[in-house]
Amino acid sequence: MNEEREISKGPIPIDKEVSWDKTQTIMSKTDLYGTIEYANEVFVDVCGYEDYELMAKPHNIIRHPDMPKIIFKVLWDNIQKGNQFHGIVKNLAKSGRYYWVITNFEYSRDESGNIVNYIARRKAVPQDVITKYIEPLYKKLSQIEEVSGINASEKYLIGFLEEQRLSYVDYITKLMVENEKVQQIQQVPQAVIVGEIEDEDEESRGFFGRFFGR
């Protein structure tokens, strides 16, 4: 009874991060409506729900109230078209704690090429990307939504991305690639990195292929 209430209304968020093994990949598979059909063990461990609590539930079971609606609109607009999509999402665990992930989508299709399932793989996001770029942007989008609704936050997001001359996915890719370069510069002796990094002109597919090990 209690548990049912907790799932339908969602746990009360607390400002603490889930502690999890950030080398792992969280995976889930849904139908076309985002209803969960499969969740891997990492998913179960990180979100804190048992698999029997997740199966046949809408994926918004882990939706965090800090997430602006417009980001999910961009997500669905892209995945319904079968586009290559990467989004950064703050999720809500059963404990009320949060965890940030970056997603990679795959599509399973029938013989006619129609999408029949969505498969999402997620990895942890570097803290700097969240703190410096994503959190401030999402906070602004949520504030706009609260006051003026999703049409206004969509316009703001479009303006923000136009200023960068990037799509949402390209912006996310740029943040990840730049962060990786900074990490390499901090970790590798100067003499080695000069040649390697300056030559590197990575495209979204290349970066995420490596990032998700595919």
Ligand X SMILES: Cc1cc2nc3c(=O)[nH]c(=O)nc-3n(C[C@H](O)[C@H](O)[C@H](O)COP(=O)(O)O)c2cc1C
Alpha-helical runs (H) found in the chain: 2-9, 41-47, 51-54, 69-79, 127-129, 135-148, 150-164, 168-187, 190-198, 204-211
Q: Pick the closer one to ligand X by CB: 115 or 193.
A: 115
Residue 148 binds ligand X (CB under 6 A) = no
Distance from C-alpha of 157 to C-alpha of 103, rounded to nearest angstrom = 19
Provide the minimum distance between the beta carbon of 191 and ligand X in the complex, in angstroms, as a whole number: 41
Binders of ligand X in range 71-90 (CB under 6 A): 72, 89
Residue 138: which residues within 8 A CB-CB, separation 6 or more? 66, 67, 68, 71, 90
Provide the minimum distance between the beta carbon of 102 and ligand X in the complex, in angstroms, as a whole number: 10
Residue 91 binds ligand X (CB under 6 A) = yes
Provide the minimum distance between the beta carbon of 165 and ligand X in the complex, in angstroms, as a whole number: 27
Expressed in angstroms, the distance from the first to the final Cα of the chain is 42
Residue 62 binds ligand X (CB under 6 A) = yes
Site for ligand X (CB under 6 A): how many residues? 13
Q: Pick the closer one to ligand X by CB: 118 or 138.
A: 118
Residue 107 binds ligand X (CB under 6 A) = no
Binder to ligand X among 85, 99, 100, 118 (CB under 6 A)?
A: 118
Residue nearest to ligand X (CB): 34
User: To which residue do tokens 């968020």 refer?
Assistant: 13
User: To which residue do tokens 């303006």 refer?
Assistant: 159
For the record, the structure tokens of 7 come out as 């799932």
Binder to ligand X among 18, 88, 93, 120 (CB under 6 A)?
A: 120
Q: Pick the closer one to ligand X by CB: 22 or 69.
A: 69
Distance from C-alpha of 78 to C-alpha of 156, rounded to nearest angstrom = 19
User: To which residue do tokens 């048992």 refer?
Assistant: 50
Binders of ligand X in range 18-37 (CB under 6 A): 28, 30, 34
Q: Quick one: which of 21, 30, 26 has its CA closest to 41? A: 26
Binder to ligand X among 51, 55, 56, 60 (CB under 6 A)?
A: 60
The residues binding ligand X (CB under 6 A) are 28, 30, 34, 59-60, 62-63, 69, 72, 89, 91, 118, 120
